[in-house]
Structure 1
Amino acid sequence: MDSILIVPAITAEAELLQKLARQTFEEAFASSNTAANMQLYAQQNFTIPRLTAELSNPESEFFWAMHKIDPVGYLKLNFGSAQTELFNSKAVELERIYVTKAWQGKGIGQQLLDQAIDSAIAVNAPFLWLGVWEHNKNAIAFYEKNRFEVFDKHPFKLGNEVQTDLLMRLDLPAKK
């Protein structure tokens, strides 16, 4: 397998993040949602000002999965008040984890998830949590394989449609 490096993203990379975020979101969900809802979601969530603000937030971290000089995946973590729901201020939210379709099945999602777990353990978080669309069976199976368990659900607005996300968590060991 080609070598993949997991590296932190910086604020100046907002345009690169926008391109990858739009691409991976489209690849993941376009076949199951209307074009209008996909476009509206992207317009609301993947603008340069919004992504710049997210990258600049000291309570969020982004990581790239890099193949040579090309990003092939990314991950977004939220700490403290940056979490989209505050179940526990010391927990860490895995808000986004995406790999381009061409690079799926090569262990990159696992590398990104391992980074998320390591980052959460480093701040002594009691658990890492995420929301995953209830119909995204492959993602749910991936998280279950990594010992995440469903603990709740919440609404997720994709464009004008309200969908249901399962909330999953992984309890973490105390930092050594």
Structure 2
Amino acid sequence: MEYSIRECTKDDLPVLREISYQTYDDTFRDKNSSSSMNAYLEQAFDTRKLRKELSNSYSVFYFLYIGEELAGYLKLNDYKVQTDINDPQSLEIERIYIKKKFHGRGFGKLLLKKSIEVAANKSKSYIWLGVWEKNDNALSFYQKNGFYKMGEHSFFMGQEEQTDYLMRKDLTTEA
């Protein structure tokens, strides 16, 4: 199937907000309270917040299209705006989200491949991310793709404290 990945621009803000909200809600709504989920969605995908993130030269978003249809997106953070590690030798994958109708077809791997490509072009030693300890599908995906757990940190869904596993993939063996 034909696909393309392109960097988001400020003009993509409404579409970015929509896909961010939709994919996050689809992924986590059934495992969290409505009040926590609603609070998180409004805070994390607030238009002003996303506009600021799109304008930050240390963060970049990419859209994944399957044919002409937007299927998912990726957000990468360089060390100055990383959510936790802040290591100049690393690149953080803050978000890889695929629309439900495209799940299980290898499209997440395309965005992971893009992350590795960006990290390699920036001469990074490793990529890392945080994954909710109860997100079994994501944990399995990242483990199958060479990530290992290097720690944990707290993540707040509304007022509820949750645990994210910090996972790392070393890039020294990537060609």
TM-score (norm 2): 0.96
Unaligned runs of 5+ residues in structure 1 are none
Change (3 A) 1:39 1:173: same
Partner of 1:56: 55
DSSP 3-state at the match of 2:63: strand
DSSP 3-state at the match of 2:89: coil
Work out the CA distance in 2 between the residues paired with 1:19 and 1:125.
Answer: 31
Partner of 1:70: 69
Q: CA deviation at 1:12?
A: 1.2
Q: CA deviation at 1:4?
A: 1.7
Partner of 2:159: 160
Partner of 1:47: 46
Work out the CA distance in 2 between the residues paired with 1:175 and 1:69.
Answer: 30
Larger deviation, residues 128-137 vs 58-67: 58-67
Partner of 2:31: 32
Unaligned runs of 5+ residues in structure 2 are none
* TM superposition outliers: structure 1 runs of 4+ over 3 Å: none
Partner of 2:114: 115
Q: Which amino acid in the other structure matches residue 137 of structure 2?
A: N
Is the 8 Å Cα contact of residues 121 and 173 (structure 1) preserved in structure 2? no
RMSD: 1.4
TM-score (norm 1): 0.95
Query: Which residues in structure 2 correspond to 1:80-91 (within 5 Å)?
Result: 80-91=79-90
Q: CA deviation at 1:87?
A: 4.4
Q: Which amino acid in the other structure matches residue 151 of structure 2?
A: D
Is the 8 Å Cα contact of residues 80 and 86 (structure 2) preserved in structure 1? no
Query: Which residues in structure 2 correspond to 1:17-28 (within 5 Å)?
Result: 17-28=16-27
Fraction of identical pairs, as percent = 37
Q: CA deviation at 1:72?
A: 1.0
Partner of 2:141: 142
